[in-house]
Amino acid sequence: MREYKIAVIEGDGIGPEIIREAIKVLDKVGEKEGFKLNYSHYLLGGVAVDKTGDPCPPETIEGALNSDAVLFGAIGGPKWDTLPKEKRPETGLLKIRKELGLFANLRPAVVFDQFVDASPLKPEVVKGVDLLVVRELTGGIYFGQPRGREENQAFNTMRYTREEIERIAHIAFKEAQKRRKKVTSIDKANVLEVSQFWREIVEEVAKNYPDVELEHMYVDNGAMQLVRNPRQFDVILTGNIFGDILSDEASMIVGSIGLLPSASIGGKVGLFEPIHGSAPDIAGKGIANPIATILSAGMMLGYLGEVEGERRIKRAVEKVLAEGHRTPDLGGNLTTQEMGDLIAKAVEEV
């Protein structure tokens, strides 16, 4: 039997609840597909601060590096908002991404036929939307130096190296080759020197993928086009801050942030998480939607080479949704556990 070591990070808020359902589904898929996942649990975020004083303890980094993949819930909450920056949960997440070398964040946004009416956009605009945002994760303005404050001003630096742009561009073009063979690179090259450099390097990388169409788009126009005609996009390639904003915009096209998974890859170990936050306002109520986490777990299986396992999870989720089952965020009344149970059962039927 094929076996894999999975580092599990539940995190804060609804993290433990949604991770529990994802593991339930993963174990059922393993039974059907003939593999076994061995889980080890680690701390990250606010719960790590409370228990160790460190938002990202060294043992969490070590455990992740010694695993085949990381399954992650969510972190943060108002309880820790007043802590110094180095103690905040978000600092822990940035640290583990950096330590694992996770430079590429993949965020698919797919509109299920059952939720065309749930989108804030008109059905004729969103029906058939299936796009992937490829966001550079460890460079750009979030990490660029120098940064700081002076008496009457504060500053951050947007900085990218050739290597950082090349490696994320290769990821985007390779993903496009699996899809509809189109990359839209989004930047602000009409204003920013770093975006002009970004565009030059992306065009160089594109020469290695003659079967993939490349177009460029300014970020302000890209934000507008995502709302105006999201079906025009296949793979969106962009930097850290633009990707952060555009991927959240794309999530709302779908109708619920509780449906969207993500993968952070590029280093020794991939990290898989829902794109939503820890939702402390509903933590412990048993009403969180686990689907984004379950689909993230499916992406993890694909990363591990268990492609049929990933497909089985997608089919199971689609079956449950097609049958009309909904959690409160989708207008239903199922609990987190009930939705997880239904998907786990559907895994055996698809």
Let me know if 68 is a catalytic residue.
no
Whole-number pLDDT of residue 288: 96
Catalytic residue among 27, 130, 248, 341: 248
Whole-number pLDDT of residue 116: 86
Catalytic residue among 54, 244, 303, 329: 244
Q: What domains, with CATH codes, occur in the chain?
A: 1-102+267-350 (3.40.718.10), 103-256 (3.40.718.10)
Whole-number pLDDT of residue 115: 80
Let me know if 113 is a catalytic residue.
no
Catalytic residue among 54, 160, 188, 209: 188
This prediction has a pTM of: 0.90
Q: At what angle do helices 291-303 and 336-349 cross, to 10 degrees?
A: 40
Whole-number pLDDT of residue 113: 83
Let me know if 244 is a catalytic residue.
yes
Question: Which residue stretches of the chain have pLDDT < 70?
Answer: none
Whole-number pLDDT of residue 254: 85
Catalytic residue among 142, 181, 218, 341: 142
Let me know if 50 is a catalytic residue.
no
Whole-number pLDDT of residue 330: 86
Q: What is the DSSP string of 239-292?
A: -HHHHHHHHHHHHHHHS-GGG-EEEEESSSSEEEEESS---TTTTTTT----HH
Strands of 261-265's sheet in order across: 35-42, 2-11, 69-74, 270-274, 261-265, 104-110, 130-136, 235-238, 182-187, 213-218
For the segment 96-118, what is each residue's pLDDT rounded down to a tens digit?
A: 998 999 999 999 999 988 888 87
Q: By the 8 A CB rule, do 268 and 102 touch? A: no
Let me know if 122 is a catalytic residue.
no
CB burial class (10 A; 0-12, 13-18, 19+) of residue 27? middle
Residue 194 Cα distances to 100, 162, 165, 201, angstroms: 25, 10, 11, 11
